[in-house]
Structures are given as C-alpha cells and as structure tokens.
Amino acid sequence: MAEKLKIISLGGLNEIGKNLTVYEYGGDMILVDVGMGFPDDDMYGIDVVIPDFTYLIKNRERIRGIFLTHGHEDHIGSIPYLLRDVNAPIYATRMTAGLVKLKLEEHRLLDKTKLITCEAGEVVRAGKFSVEFIHANHSIADAVSFAIKTPVGTVVHTGDFKIDPTPIQGGMMDLGRLGQLGKEGVLALLADSTNVERPGFTKSERSVGASFDALFRGCEQRIIVTTFASNVDRIQQIIDVAARYGRKVAVTGRSMENAMRVSTELGYMKIPDGVLVDLNHIKSLPKHKICIITTGSQGETMSALTRMAFNTHRQVDIQAGDRVVISASAIPGNENSIGSVINELYRKDAEVVNERLGALHVSGHACQEELKIIHALVKPKFFIPLHGEQRHLKTHAKLAQEMGMDPRHIIISDIGKVIELTPNSAKINGTVPAGRVFVDGYGVGDVGSVVLRDRKHLAEDGMIVVVVSMSGEDGSVISGPDIITRGFVYVKESEGLMEELRRVAVNSLENCRRDSRSDWAAIKTEVKNALSNFLYKKTKRNPMILPVIMEV
Amino acid sequence: MAEKLKIISLGGLNEIGKNLTVYEYGGDMILVDVGMGFPDDDMYGIDVVIPDFTYLIKNRERIRGIFLTHGHEDHIGSIPYLLRDVNAPIYATRMTAGLVKLKLEEHRLLDKTKLITCEAGEVVRAGKFSVEFIHANHSIADAVSFAIKTPVGTVVHTGDFKIDPTPIQGGMMDLGRLGQLGKEGVLALLADSTNVERPGFTKSERSVGASFDALFRGCEQRIIVTTFASNVDRIQQIIDVAARYGRKVAVTGRSMENAMRVSTELGYMKIPDGVLVDLNHIKSLPKHKICIITTGSQGETMSALTRMAFNTHRQVDIQAGDRVVISASAIPGNENSIGSVINELYRKDAEVVNERLGALHVSGHACQEELKIIHALVKPKFFIPLHGEQRHLKTHAKLAQEMGMDPRHIIISDIGKVIELTPNSAKINGTVPAGRVFVDGYGVGDVGSVVLRDRKHLAEDGMIVVVVSMSGEDGSVISGPDIITRGFVYVKESEGLMEELRRVAVNSLENCRRDSRSDWAAIKTEVKNALSNFLYKKTKRNPMILPVIMEV
C-alpha cells in the first residue's frame, strides 16, 4: 500500500490565530506557520496562547523545515517556544525573515537557528516535499502562498491573502502560477476563510491613500495617525501623503518603531530624505508641519496613542484641535477599549476621524468573490478550509459547494485531527495531541484549566482565609480562628460581618470537637461548608474559602 | 433674586446606562428615570451598577415624583434600590408601569409604592413642576418625552427616542406638540445622543417585517428567532408572520415570557387565537409549523438560545437545518459571546441568518437627521445633550451648533454637576455626590475600587498564603511556614517551586530572628517582599501574597 499524505492543523481551525499546519509524508514532516493566539476574556492573566507542541516534539527528528507565509504574530509568534525543543531550518521571504530575526534575537535563539531567506518563485526541497513560494497580497509586505509537491500530489496552501490588483508594492498576487498549477492538477487546496462571510471584493490597499490625501490636504492642525504596526504599505502611504503636504513625520510606539526599522532596512519602506524627525523635536515645529504615526489602533492600554490621550506619554499630549485618524477596524472584543480612548480624545477636543466616517482601512483578507477566483484557478480535487471559526469554515465549504465541488471532497477538520490524502481520497483518520497552551510570564503550560477556574472564582467573589492553630495532642484550639479576606468586601465597613464569620468558624470548630473529630481534612471541610452556607444565605456570594489549620 | 432651576444628572452622562436626571426648583425635586447600568469588563463579579443616591437620600423629603420615559432597564432598573430609602410616587405610561410592577413585586415593594399610570397628553403636577407626557417612538412600546414646566421656563426632556412614521402601534411621535411647545418658547432641551454619530434616519420598525416575511415564506425548516425581550413590536411582527405562514409560536427565556405576558395583558401585543403553544408540545408538530421565539440575542451564557445551542436546554436542541434568525445587533463588548453561540449553531448545521445578511434589526434611537428635526421643532434657548459617552455628547453639541445654536448656550455636563438655569442663563455651578455604586449579590455598595483592585490582582496572578505559628514569648517558629496557593500554578507539577518558596520564607523568618525583630507587621512585610522578589525574578509573575502569623 502506498504512503499517504497527512495534514494536521495544530492551530487555526475553530479559532482565530495560532496558525500551524503539519504536512507529513513517508517519515518526513514540514510545518507551515507557527503562530500564537491571544487569550479570550476569561483567560485571566494569560499573556499569549500557543499550540500544543507534543506531537512535534515527539517527531522532532522528522521535521525537515518550517515554512512561513508571512510575518504576522498569528503566523510566526510561537516560533521561540517551538525552538526550545525543536531545531529545524526556517524558510521565509525577506520581510518575514526580518521580523522572525527580531524575535529570535529577543529570545537569544538567533545563533542556533538556521533562518533561510527565499523569494517568490523559489522552490525548496525538504525531505520528500518540495515547497514553492508564490507571491500573494496581504496586509503585510512579502506574503506568500505555497505549492507543496508531494508524491501523492500537489497541495496549495494560501496562507492569509487577498487579491490586490493595485498594491503599494510587490505587484499583484501571482494568479497565473495558481492557474498553471490548477491546469497541471492540484490534489488539495487549503485556503484562508477569515472574510468568507463578506460578499464582493476586498478593496485595494491603494484606495486608502485617497482618504489620507483628503484628510491632509489643507489641514492646518497637527495630524496623528494610528494603524497596525505591521502594515508597511499603509505606513508608507501615510508618510508619502505627509511628505506631499510638507509635514515631518515622527513615530511613537515600540512595535511601530521596530516594524519601520526592519522594513526600511530591507527596502520595503522608502522614507523620503528629511521627512522623519525625532519625537522630541516636533515641539519646535508648527502644527501644520507635524504628522505623528503611532501604535494604539486597538486601544491597547500601554500603547502610545492611549498614553497620549490620557496624558501619560512622556513626549506628546493630545491637544485641542489635533486631528486623530484611526486607520484600522476594531478586532472583535476591542470595541470598548478603543471606545474609551476615543472618548478621551473627544474630551481633549481633538477631532477624531475613524472608520465610520470614511474609507480609512481595508482588510487584508479575501472576500467571497476573491475566494471564488482562487477556487476556480486552483481547481483542487479536495478542499480544506483554513483559518477560521466554525462559521467561517462551514461558510467556505458552502462557497466551494456552490462552485460545483462535491461535498464529500470538502473536509472540515479541527485542530489535532489527521487528514489522510491519497491521489483519490481524503478522510479524517485519528488524532494527535492538540490544544491551547497558556503562556503567563515565563511560565509555559504551568497554568491550565484548574488554575484558570480558580482565577475566575477569585475574580468574581474574592476569597476568605480562615486560620487556626490547634493542638496536635487533643485537637483543642490554641489560637484563632482568624479571618482574612481579599476581594470580598470593604473590611472596614463590614466589621460586623467579619465578626459573624469568626463566630460561625468558632461554632463549627466546637461542633467538630464535640463530635471528637481529629481528622484535619474533615475539620477543614466542616469549617468551609459552614462559612460557605452562611455567606451565601447572607450575601448571595460565593467567595473562595481556604481553611488553614496549623498543628502546634 | 429669583430661584434658579437646577438640573443634575446622576447617571447617563459619559457612560451608557443608569440614566437619572434630577430637576430641582424652590425646594421641590422631581426625578426623570432611575436606571441601572451593566458592569465594565474589569468590574469582576459585579452584577449591576446603580447611581450614587446620596444626594437623593439627603433630600428625600423634597422629591415630589419619579417620572419614567419608558420601561428599559437602563431607565427603570435602579428603582428597587432607590425605594429602599426614598418614598415618592412613580408616574409612568401603562406599559412602563407594567414592567415596573413586575420589578416591585419581585423586590416586595409593591404595597408601599404609589405607582400612577398616565397617558400621553396628560399633565401631572408635582410641587412647582408640571410634567406633560408626550408620545414618542422607541424600541419598546409606550415611550414618552416630557415637557417639564417650571417658573423659570419649559424644559423638554426627550428620553430615548426615534421618529418612526410607520410604527407597529401607538402612532408616530407627537412632533406637533413639540412644535407647539417650541413656538411657545422652550428654555432647554435635554436630548438622547445615542445615535448622534450616525448620519441619516433610523429605519422604521415596520421595515423589519418585510425581512421576516422573506425568511418565513416557503421555508420548510423550523424557525427560531431571537431578539430583545422588551421589543414588543418586533415580537408582534414575528408572531404575525408566523401566523401568516401557518406556524405555531412557542416562547422560551424568562425575560421574553415576562415581557410577553405584561404586554399581552395590557393590550400592547395581540396574539391571534391558537397561535401560541407550549414549548413542550412543539415536538409533535412538523418542522414547517414551528416558530420558536427566544432570548439570547447577545449570547448571554444562561439565555435560552445559548442553552439550545450547547444542548443544555431542557426542552429544545438545535437541529441540523434549523433556521436561526438573530434580529438584533451586538451591544459593544458582546461580539465574542454572540460569536461563540453562532459557531455552535454552525457546528450543529443550523442555518444562521444575522444582521450582515439582511435588514433584521433597526435601532430605537434617532440618527442625525431626526435629531435635527427635534432641535428645529423645539428651538430651545439652551441645549444639554443627554444619554451618551463623551464622543456622543460632543458630537451632539456640534450638531446643535451647525444648526445655528450659540456654543455658549450648549452645556456638556457630567454626572454630579449642577446646571443652574435662569430664563436667560445656563451654567454649571457646583457638584453633588455622584458615581457608580456596585451591586454584587445582596450587597449594594460594599464592593468598591479597593475590592475590585484586589479581584483584578487575584484574577491575573492568583495568590499565595504563607502561614506560620510563632511563639508569642520568644518569636521562635513553632509550626510552618506552610505555603498554600490558588490560581497561581499547577501545584502538583510545581512541587519544586513550592519547596523553593518555603525555603525563601524560612530564610526570611530566620533573618528576622537574627535581627531580633518582634514586630509581627514588620516580619510579615519582610516575608512578603522576599517571596515577591523571588517570584518575579523566577516567573515574571506577581501573585497576591498573604503572610499570616499565628501567635501561640
């Protein structure tokens, strides 16, 4: 029996972010993207979420290469965590490699990692795979799709993409090559589903330029623009329009400064001579000569725009009349933090220009008509929707079906599921370990569902510690019980309640003694239940109760 | 010197919700609306937010009446809390009074409260005020604006409103009366700012009916519709279209059942005979004969739609092919919870029809062109924008200015600020106590910023309790130190770390003994700092550390 091609996603299915897909054939493995995700609202204290690498660590000797489609965090952010246990060469285009390099430097992994720069059109051999880089459009420069040739057939993996006929640089996505591959025969297409719910076409990045022009032309005020730091082409357009109207540009926000440095060094951004000035020097310029480009388009607490709005930025405060342009849309869940920054800008009598009022942002992902073009060009035998929640995967499957694809040739997978492909069949067969690993500070994976459940409990009702010293000989109370609470009530205004709690604890300890209980665990449970029942009846709350017995 | 009219908002300015405005003249006071708000994301464990009633309690003898514009929670929700300390007659239209009655029954306040039903057109005298009820349109039946006559002049207070020329019932807003008042002379206008950022007109509630018709016509599947429980006219339209296509209607979700009962009893909803069936009986009906109306349009965890989607509803599960219609837009901050319900519906292969795909929801608030009509009709001398965050208040002020109003006649106030009006002047003069009081379980106001800060700390990093018994005589350690953690790390997999923590605590206690410290507070601080420094260096985390010394 011939070998099968296995495709396993360890992230990016039924979730947004932490994209990672494993391709496996005949003892060889390659990875496409190693991304991170952001925590949900109820993952208290978690910094980032990364894929479960168990399967990769177990098979580390078989990994022939890591291939990256583009430099966004949800496609490259977990690389430092993977490289703790896995050493494999990383292949990426120049811009992506530049961003990965920054990351590796920060984690002191640059020396021991083989980072290879490729260009669109190149083909890389990795074990039994050969991977072709195909130019794509996206909201970051130098994005690619991959054509992965295997003995079973060719797989096209789009990565995040849109079709932009008039991009700022790099030219239009290489549709011709996709068409050629389609004519030669493609076994499977794995494609971005992010915008599959949106009809029509995503507008060209270039269309934003006209909106900027209208906002800069004739404006006498200081202009402050925020956008995604990684959107090099957007920033290029802001700089160009600023230069056109004789403004100097200052930049604030660490991620913005990093991204601009990398993209300028690599030639993806061209800043006209004399346009860029240090933020400290803008005070000496008249208002109509100033443009500040800043982070903070999502209302992030520590971002430069938020700090400017709330007067905690060291160099710049928002002033009445400033024109603040928000060139971004809200990522779901960020509406309220963006809203609070906008309110603060209004409070300072700044003029806020955001999405609702003009075409200030375009998406980096393909809408329905673009996806149809890709399906039509690639003409795959099998289709696997990628990068989306269940609603997106199902809607993408429906789109493929409407274009005539046999529904039995569409595989909606999930993370950890193993898709087995032969030249004539595709099916899910088995699973590998997959899930969400939480990073909290330096800790990777030491916070899990139990810890998060406790955090949620503590967050909602606070906690009560009951401490008592008891004699190890006769179980009599030597000292206490003392009641300590945090996050429960104002203690000073609730002294009566604290005294009642102490009395409930004393009574319950006396009951234990009367019943001659000497098992510390049983006594703790008794005290805990007594306090818990009392409190729920009295306050309708359920704080975490921690009884501590010191045997002396 | 003549008396001044004072206008004080205790809620609804620079925030969404908990609307409450106080009008004060010559020793008399009336209140317009007594609403509640919902907690922000970082107000862990808080159930609802209510206004600070300090000023009202202090002046309770002077309150001549509570006037309600309509029955939404953000306008009536705090009534039971106010009535604990204040006894004043409540004036409301029939529908609003019906909803308030439910609330008073639940809080056992019905007997001692004077609840007076009024109709649009009526005028109520309350001390030196006379309050006229003026019919308005909104997303709940029987909404009114008020014309408040005072010796200083007439004030028009719109409440939440839109102008709907073709409402489902009750007729169009009484624009004529507003025009008449305008011609007679209006001192001040206080108007809803919710939708002031949106250009144009809000669509008529009736326009949604056509969308429902298209979704029901020829549909062979079960239809499940979710919307806001209080939107009587929306529910009426769903029932009508169901009846038109021969479907029976079953209702699930407590707030939906309550609202339908009240509105049917009071004649605001007319359900054709034989259309309503018990949820338990729908199993015996063919799919194309079923329509279920349910709560859950905001993805609320315990709502009926969420329970149906996740198979925890006792009577109904979502089945493949069900057509689920979401007739609502997301309230900012709810996008992710709605998203997770939608994903679950897709997972069950239900068909989800939501906002993006059709005109399934219209707002209950006036857009820019409607607001302009109100300003033009009322022609107030002074304007005070109400009901909005800073961005809305400022934008509404700009709209008034564009219509020719003198900017010095526009007052952007804040909660607690006292606006003083004479026939020729309006200015802010002084403040009264105002703020947000948190309700958590039975507790009102016993959770404040310190407790919330502790909850946030506990939520993000968990906590560590260090307990030690020490001799009261010589300060020697009798037992311990014991380390207990919650919400910090998996204890079982971090035994090494726990042991290190114990050692750090032991060392720091030994240091204290060597330095002959005997002040328990100083020893606690020493232990806490030692552990905190150790942990931050080791884990980059900052759990709450609680040292407890038992003196024995």
Q: Does residue A237 contact residue A168 with C-beta atoms inside 8 Å?
A: yes
DSSP string across B21-66: EEEEETTEEEEE----BPPPTTSTT--EEEE--HHHHHTGGGEEEE
A461 is in an annotated binding site: no
CATH class of segment(s) B5-200+363-439: alpha beta
Instruction: Note whether B35 and B17 are within 8 A (CB).
Output: yes
For residue B481, give the H/E element and its range.
strand B477-486
Asked if B460 and A333 come within 8 Å (Cβ–Cβ), the reply is no
pLDDT digits (tens, 9 = 90+) for A100-134: 999 999 999 999 999 999 999 999 999 999 999 99
Nearest CA in chain B to A545: B486
Task: Give the whole-angstrom CA distance, residue B143 versus residue B145.
Answer: 7
Partner-chain contact B550 A469, CB within 8 Å: yes
Q: Are A455 and A42 in contact (CB under 8 A)?
A: no
Option in A390, A443, A467 nearest B548 (CB): A467
* Among A46, A389, A391, the residue to mutate for chain B (most B Cβ within 10 A): A391
- DSSP per-residue letters across A235-272: HHHHHHHHHHTT-EEEEESHHHHHHHHHHHHTTS--PP
Q: N- to C-terminal Cα distance for chain A?
A: 71
Other beta carbons within 10 Å of B368: 19
A304 C-beta neighbours (distance < 10 Å), count: 27
Asked if A365 and A194 count as a contact pair (C-beta separation under 8 A), the reply is yes
Sheet holding B417-422, edge to edge: B115-118, B90-93, B63-67, B28-32, B20-25, B5-11, B417-422, B425-431
Contact status, residue B308 vs residue B350, Cβ threshold 8 Å: no
CB A206 within 8 A of CB A170: no
Nearest to B458 among A346, A459, A541 (CB): A459
Contact B21, B9 (CB under 8 A): yes
pLDDT of residue B330: 87
Q: Which residues of B touch A197 (CB under 8 A)?
A: 356
Radius of gyration (C-alpha) of chain B in whole angstroms: 29
pLDDT tens track for B149-167: 999 999 999 999 999 999 9
User: CA-to-CA distance for B181 and B186, rounded, in angstroms?
Assistant: 6
Q: Which of B41, B461, B480 sits opposite A45 (nearest CB)?
A: B461
pLDDT tens digit sequence for A22-56? 999 999 999 999 999 999 888 999 999 999 999 99
Position B358 confidence tier, pLDDT thresholds 50, 70, 90: low
- Percent above pLDDT 70 for chain B: 99
Nearest to B389 among A44, A339, A487 (CB): A339
Amino acid at B515: D
Asked if residue B70 belongs to a known ligand binding site, the reply is: yes
Q: What angle do CA B75, B79, B82 make, to 5 degrees?
A: 130
Nearest C-alpha in A relative to B334? A333
CA B192 from centre of chain:
16
- Residue whose structure tokens are 């789009």: A158
Query: Which of A14, A389, A396, A463 is most worth mutating to test chain B (most B CB atoms within 10 A of its CB)?
Result: A463
Establish whether A337 is an annotated binding residue. no
- Which residue among B390, B443, B461 places its CB closest to the CB of A539? B443
Q: What angle is formed at CA A443 by the lines to CA A440 and CA A444, rounded to 5 degrees?
A: 90
> What is the band of A358 on the pLDDT scale with cuts at 50, 70, 90?
low
Two tokens, residue B455:
């909850």
Nearest CB to A454 within list B468, B487, B546: B487
Nearest CA distance, B460 vs chain A (angstrom):
4
Q: What's the CA angle centered on B124, arms B120 and B125, to 5 degrees? A: 160
Tokens, residue B73: 């929670």
For domain A5-200+363-436, say whether CATH 3.60.15.10 is its number.
yes
Distance of CA A294 to the CA centre of its chain: 20
**Chain B contacts of A458, Cβ < 8 Å?**
455, 458-459, 462-463, 486-487
Query: Taking a C-beta distance cutoff of 8 angstroms, is the pair A338, A330 a contact?
Result: yes
Strands A380-386 and A186-192: parallel
Residue A503 CB neighbour total at 10 angstroms: 12
Residue whose pair of structure tokens reads 């009445």 in the numeric block: A320
**Beta-strand relationship, A153-157 and B351-353:** unpaired
Place of tokens 């007739």: B327
What's the rounded Cα separation, in Å, for the pair A155 and A383? 10
State what percent of residues in chain A have pLDDT above 70: 99
> What mean pLDDT is predicted for residues A535-546?
92
Cβ-based contacts of B546 with chain A (< 8 Å): 465, 484, 486
Q: According to the model, what pLDDT value does residue A513 have? A: 80
Which pTM value belongs to this model?
Answer: 0.91
Neighbours of B268 (CB within 10 A): 22
Determine whether the annotation assigns residue A230 to a binding site: yes
- Closest-approach residue (CA) in chain B for A543: B45
User: What's the token pair of residue A270?
Assistant: 């061209």
Q: Where are the domains of chain A?
A: 5-200+363-436, 207-357, 449-551
How far apart (Å, rounded) are the C-alpha atoms in residues B31 and B86?
12
With a CB cutoff of 8 Å and minimum separation 6, the contacts of B465 are A465, A546, A548, B483, B484, B485, B546, B548
pLDDT, position A42: 86
Contact B551 A40 (CB under 8 A): no
Residue A365 annotated as catalytic:
yes
A494: chain B residues, CB-CB within 8 Å: 446
- Closest chain A CA to residue B544: A486
Please give the Cα distance from A79 to B142 (Å, whole number). 59
Residue B50: which of B389, B437, B416 has the closest Cα?
A: B437
Spatial contact of B160 and B72, defined as CB atoms under 8 Å apart: yes
Q: Which of B453, B463, B524 to mutate to test the interface with A (most CBs of A within 10 A)?
A: B463
Cα Rg of chain A, angstroms: 29
Subunit contact B339:A332, Cβ cutoff 8 A: yes
Tell if the CB–CB gap between B391 and A538 is shorter than 8 Å.
no
| Distance of alpha carbon B88 from alpha carbon B91, whole angstroms | 10
| Structural element, H or E, at residue A481 | strand A477-486
Give the pLDDT confidence score for residue A332 in this predicted structure: 82
Q: Identify all chain B residues contacting A14, using CB atoms and an 8 Å cutoff.
A: 343
**Paired tokens of A441:** 């500070």
User: Is B449-551 in CATH node 1.10.1740.10?
Assistant: no
Please report residues of A whose CB lies closer than 8 A to that of B389. Answer: 339, 343
Of A32-41, B463-472, B513-522, least confident by mean pLDDT is: B513-522
Cβ pair B342, B354 in contact under 8 A: yes
Token digits for B267? Answer: 């004649």
pLDDT higher than threshold 60 for residue B357: no
Average pLDDT over residues B65-71: 98
- B375 counts as catalytic: no
Residues of B in contact with A395 (CB under 8 A): 346
User: Would you state the pLDDT for residue B356?
Assistant: 58
Measured over the CA atoms of residue B148, residue B153, residue B159 and residue B163, the dihedral's sign is positive
> With contact defined as beta carbons under 8 Å apart, do A193 and A387 qualify?
yes
In this prediction, residue B208 carries a pLDDT of 93
Question: With an 8 Å Cβ cutoff, are B451 and A465 in contact?
Answer: no
Tell me which amino acid residue B181 is: L
* More reliable by pLDDT, B269 or A480: B269
Q: What is the average per-residue pLDDT within A437-448? A: 90
Contacts of B453 (CB under 8 A, 6+ apart): none
pLDDT interval class at A145 (50, 70, 90): very high
Which of A313, A209, A310 is closest to A254 using CA atoms? A313
B479: β partners: B469
Structure tokens at B487: 């919400």
Average pLDDT, chain B: 94
Fold of A207-357: Rossmann fold (3.40.50)
Contact B352 A390 (CB under 8 A): no
Closest CA to A31 of A3, A59, A2: A59
Q: What is the pLDDT of residues A63-78, one digit of tens each?
A: 999 999 999 999 999 9
Residue of A23, A18, A6, A57 lying closest to A126 (CA atoms): A23
Please name the member of A448, A487, A493 whose beta carbon is closest to the beta carbon of B454: A487
**pLDDT bucket at B1, cuts 50 / 70 / 90:** low
The helix/strand/coil state of B124 is strand
Which of B190, B496, B336 is closest to A336 using CA atoms?
B336
β-pair partners for A547: A466
Of the listed A313, A365, A375, A392, which one is catalytic?
Answer: A365
Please indicate if the annotation marks A33 as binding a ligand. Answer: no
Task: Provide the number of CB pairs (under 8 Å) joining chain A to chain B.
Answer: 204
Provide the pLDDT for residue A445.
87
Is the pLDDT score of B93 beyond 80? yes
Q: Rounded CA gap, A120 and A165, in Å?
A: 17
Q: Which of B340, B458, B520 to mutate to test the interface with A (most CBs of A within 10 A)?
A: B458
User: Which range, of A177-191, A276-290, B359-373, B483-497, averages the lowest pLDDT?
Assistant: B483-497
Q: Which one is catalytic: A192, A233, A240, A322?
A: A192
Helix ranges (H only) for A107-224 are 175-184, 207-216
Residue A144 pLDDT greater than 70, yes or no: yes
Which of the following is catalytic: B192, B233, B240, B322? B192
Q: Using CA of residue A330, residue A336, residue A337, residue A343, what is the dihedral sign? A: positive
Query: Which of B313, B365, B375, B396 is the catalytic position?
Result: B365
B164 is in an annotated binding site: no
Q: Read out DSSP for A270-298?
A: -PPTT-B--GGGGGGS-GGGEEEEES-TT
* Cβ–Cβ under 8 Å, residues A389 and A412: no
Is B72 annotated to bind a ligand? Reply is yes
Q: For residue A249, which amino acid is it?
A: V
- Whole-number Å distance between alpha carbons of A214 and A212: 5
State yes or no: B160 annotated in a binding site: yes
The CA distance from A489 to the nearest CA of chain B, in Å, is: 5
Residues of B in contact with A546 (CB under 8 A): 465, 484, 486
Whether pLDDT at B223 is above 60? yes
Residue A516: pLDDT above 90? no
Tell me, what's the pLDDT at A495?
A: 83
Q: Given an 8 Å threshold on Cβ–Cβ distance, is B463 in contact with A443?
A: no
N- to C-terminal Cα separation, chain B:
71
DSSP assignment, residue A173? -
Q: Report CA B210 to chain centroid distance, whole Å.
A: 30
User: Per the annotation, does A375 bind a ligand?
Assistant: no
Name the residue in chain B with its Cα closest to that of A333: B333
pLDDT exceeds cutoff 60 at A475: yes
Tell me the residue length of chain B.
Answer: 552
Measure CB to CB from residue A548 to each of B448, B455, B482 and give the nearest one.
B482
Is residue B28 a known part of a binding site? no
CATH architecture of the domain formed by B207-356:
3-Layer(aba) Sandwich (3.40)
Task: Say if the Cβ atoms of A467 and B394 lie within 8 Å.
Answer: no
Reference A149, options A118, A119, A126; nearest CA is: A126
Nearest alpha-carbon partner for B313 in B287, B292, B327: B292
B356: which chain A residues are within 8 Å (Cβ-Cβ)? Answer: 197-198
3-state secondary structure of A26: coil
